[in-house]
Homo-oligomer: A and B are copies of this chain.
Amino acid sequence: MKKVGIMAYGITPFTKEDQKIESILLKSAKNLFKNNPQINRNDIDAVLVSTNNNSKYLSPVLSEMIDIQPKIAHSIESLCNSGTNSIVSAYSYIASGLADMVLISGAERYDSPGQILEWDNSRGEYKHPIFWASIFTKSYKREFSISEEDLAIVPVKNHKQAKENPNAISNKIFSIQDVVNSKKLTEDIRLLDCSRPCTGSASIILASEATIRKNTDEPVWIAGIGQKTTSAGFTKNMSLSSMESTKLAGNAALKMANRTITDVDVAEIHDAFSVCEPMALESLGFSNLGNGINTIKELHETNNFKINPRGGLLGSGHPLGATGIAQTIEITQQIQSKANNRQVDNVNIGLVHNMSAAATSSTVLVLEK
């Protein structure tokens, strides 16, 4: 398969601002071009927009705003992992030869319609994601004898890390006590256990090897891709305390990259809620089953930013269509040693984990120098 890599990126701060989706989209794309004046934007063959926004034809709209006329142009939606779905689609256009340079722009408003799972009747009236997170949390705590205080380490660590991320929605640090005293939303979920939907945008350009080498001295390659959809609702989920789609996607991505999980130096993990981080670490093989919280505590105590250096979804905020792209940008910056105060030591290989709807689907990417 042809080598495909990351050539450029641009991102906006994640906020609660009320802006038009078109304006949000444009901002990160403009940022990308501003930071990369060497790129001839007329060489862009395809523009993929990642969003849950209901506006139509956003890819031609963005293309017109940035004054390009691509061949391929459409929007991609898969709830919270729309971003990595778009990146994998761009990869396939380049690997197949149908395109050479692809712009992927993800954007969302704080009031994204992707937050409510209207279609899932297996959840009865409880259609907000907080309800699956609540079920996961109860199940995970019971199965592995994890306390509320244990789990609180996840937002504590991730908000601390987000403080070093200038684009994060959060710039406060919190203690375990702050988390367990924050507003109780369900029996098992408190306010600080939740990532916040927000307004934000992230753009990235993928290109073929020859084009990357012409345009950047710091290429980052997509070495592994894994994707899996197990179901769309709870009715088909086998386990409530592990993530089957994440496990399968992670194995596939590492296999394609010819790596094992111990080779991974830094990872973005889809911590939509506190419980998701230890569950995903276990499903990906970073930790043994039931041991995710211990891994997280150890990283926190040693001030090691290996997991979710930008602050995760909990600390950065979660603009659905932009999240997977923002995660990929973070790992790219880590590999390029450009992550400033968030930089993890000696990063050669990084991993992105992006999932949707109670982990009913997952994408895992392995990026390399």
Neighbouring B residues of A249 by C-beta, 8 Å: 71
Q: Are A1 and B96 in contact (CB under 8 A)?
A: yes
Binds B, one of A26-34, A87-95, A287-295, A326-334: A87-95
Name the residue on B nearest A65 (C-beta).
Answer: B232
Q: Are A361 and B60 CB-contacts (below 8 A) given A228-B71, A229-B69?
A: yes
Name the residue on B nearest A70 (C-beta).
Answer: B229
Q: List residues 49-70 of chain A with CB under 8 A from any CB of chain B.
A: 52, 54-61, 63-64, 69-70
Q: Are A228 and B361 in contact (CB under 8 A)?
A: no
Q: Are A227 and B361 in contact (CB under 8 A)?
A: no
Question: A364 to chain B: closest CB distance in Å?
Answer: 11
Q: Which of B61, B73, B78 contacts A57 (CB 8 A)?
A: B78
Q: Are B91 and A60 in contact (CB under 8 A)?
A: no
Q: Which of B72, B76, B85, B95 contacts A88 (CB 8 A)?
A: B72
| Per-position 1/0 for A131-155, Cβ under 8 A of B | 0000000000000000000000000
**Cα(A356)–Cα(B357), bound, Å:** 31
**Cα(A55)–Cα(B119), bound, Å:** 8
Query: Is A225 close to B, CB under 8 A?
Result: yes
Neighbouring B residues of A60 by C-beta, 8 Å: 78, 229, 231-232, 356-357, 360-361
Question: A359 to chain B: closest CB distance in Å?
Answer: 11
Nearest first, the 3 A-B pairs at minimum CB distance are A95-B96, A74-B78, A60-B232
Q: Are A52 and B56 in contact (CB under 8 A)?
A: yes
Neighbouring B residues of A233 by C-beta, 8 Å: 64
Name the residue on B nearest A98 (C-beta).
Answer: B92
Name the residue on B nearest A97 (C-beta).
Answer: B1
Count of A interface residues, CB-CB < 8 Å? 61
Most buried by B among A55, A231, A252, A361: A361
**Cα(A47)–Cα(B78), bound, Å:** 11
CB-defined A-B contacts under 8 Å, sample of 23:
A54-B54, A55-B118, A55-B119, A56-B77, A56-B113, A56-B114, A57-B119, A61-B232, A64-B232, A69-B230, A70-B228, A71-B249, A72-B227, A72-B229, A74-B78, A74-B82, A74-B85, A76-B76, A92-B92, A92-B93, A92-B98, A92-B99, A95-B95
**Cα(A356)–Cα(B169), bound, Å:** 37
Q: List residues 290-341 of chain A with CB under 8 A from any CB of chain B.
A: none
Q: Are B357 and A57 in contact (CB under 8 A)?
A: yes
**Cα(A230)–Cα(B175), bound, Å:** 53
Q: Are B118 and A73 in contact (CB under 8 A)?
A: no
| Per-position 1/0 for A203-244, Cβ under 8 A of B | 000000000000000000000011111111101100000000
Neighbouring B residues of A265 by C-beta, 8 Å: none
Name the residue on B nearest A76 (C-beta).
Answer: B74
**Cα(A72)–Cα(B86), bound, Å:** 11
Q: Are B73 and A229 in contact (CB under 8 A)?
A: yes
**Cα(A170)–Cα(B201), bound, Å:** 44
Q: Which of B73, B82, B91, B360 contacts A78 (CB 8 A)?
A: B73
